[in-house]
A and B are shown apart, each in its own frame.
Chain A
């Protein structure tokens, strides 16, 4: 059964008055980032999204999350068209985005507060999710008293505390060091196998994409479309050693094959993306 249906999504950014960029040799104040994305995502599926810089991965995630309006096309969540953030969706950002004036516990409670969960239940559930990520005893720490890995654990706990049916993750481990990254990847998999929520995970790392995914969606260079969808049939539960297996290596070669031309193409308009980012 399809949980998320993305059909014909196009996104064009209109630059600020007076700003121009050169696209394919022509001056313009409009940049098309997504050009007709179609994607069906099944319930409980773990999808990773890879593609060169500027292929619109994050923009697509924002559209699915209801944070940005598409210029054309629709996204449906369980048959309902998304026009604004859905309470059934959780979002995790690369830069953690924790509220620095709230403690770890109260950051998680925030997600429940704004969804109207009663006070007592908030505390219990927030404590449960902190414990799930091995952060019992850190309830009263402020974000700047936690390491990057711990902050991202809190942020994921915050996203999961409201029992979302969809979890959107935008390069959540990109700012972490390699060891912490691998630890968090396997923690995330363990928890996901328990709760079986649908995950869409944007990453630049091919290894990360293969290790986590049921299916990898490879995006083309800008304007982004779906180039290829690669099934990752590695058995679950997966442990870290799987990375050195022959099957894993075969997948790695295949994903890189799909990605290489697009990365080369993207190099040509690297100067473009700052114009419409943010």
Chain B
């Protein structure tokens, strides 16, 4: 580091050279490593599924509480064919999406104000920190009392569990905008509105999208939790209800569906993040 600070020219040019030279190789390397991880990891996953199949059949686990994987698959196909599964998935995802959407509408503009105007942040920060550190599940009874047992309380909990990820990342994104870019924009006579639209917003997109990734996951977890505690529909309800009815095949089918949705959503979000920050040339996001 010492020689970099002594010769600012060299220190400044290093990143751009590194980025240029390494952009493609890095990406190739990443995918290669990703595939590698998958093929390395596959045997252990197959072993896990084999154990799941064998253990109940050999009587190591009680098949009533832990049915073999093939039985679970059969239950899953049954649920899928009857359309029950699609209905529950649809309801859960809809709740998560509405909560997340509302959170975005609230958090991004608020984050802009808090990140840009220090007085606004000073006034609101303590309240935000207080709310942020209150568990959304602890608040579910409150939401039910205030909003009833219907959709509103489920949406409220997904909203609550995603809004702070978005807010905190928007604030840090806005604060991290390179002051030189703001100066350059001002030197060209950029108006205040354009400064937000054309400089601060695009500059903070990577941070906002990273927050959105956490927020989407969190909103899905929250909706499942809320449905297990108080609902008449949704994947969480399906899992909880199947357990109460001792329909363990259906219960595990529901859990596996959750896992699958989690994986798909995560990869979609990673892809979206890469797309939204493609101008960075190299992606430092991993699919985990």
Contacts and interface: CB of A to CB of B under 8 A. Distances in A.
B141 interface: no
A211 B265 CA distance: 60
A142 B184 contact: no
A101 B191 contact: no
Most-contacted residue by chain A among B16, B184, B191, B279 (CB, 10 A): B184
12 contacts: A65-B187, A85-B188, A86-B189, A91-B188, A97-B180, A101-B202, A114-B191, A142-B281, A144-B280, A148-B12, A162-B188, A177-B9
A145 B203 contact: no
B8 interface: yes
Interface in B3-60: 8-9, 12-13, 16-17, 19-20, 23
A176 interface: yes
B93 interface: no
Interface size class of B (residues with CB under 8 A): 20 to 34
B9 A175 contact: yes
A91 B188 CA distance: 8
Contacts, number: 83
A151 B16 CA distance: 10
Contacts of A143: 16
B194 interface: yes
Interface string A144-187: 11111001000000000010000000000011110000000000
Interface of B: 8-9, 12-13, 16-17, 19-20, 23, 179-181, 183-191, 194, 198-199, 202-203, 205, 279-281
A67 interface: yes
B12 A95 contact: yes
B238 to A, nearest CB: 43
Contacts of B13: 148, 175, 177
Interface residues of A, number: 34
A144 B179 contact: no
B20 A145 contact: yes
Interface string A83-117: 00111011101010101111000000011011100
A100 B12 contact: no
Given A113-B198, A114-B194, A144-B19, A97 B281 contact: no
- The residue in A91, A101, A177 that gathers the most chain B C-beta atoms within 10 A of its C-beta is A101
B26 to A, nearest CB: 12
B184 A145 contact: no
Give the one of B19, B23, B187 with max A CB within 10 A. Answer: B187
A176 B9 contact: yes
A278 interface: yes
Contacts of A174: 9
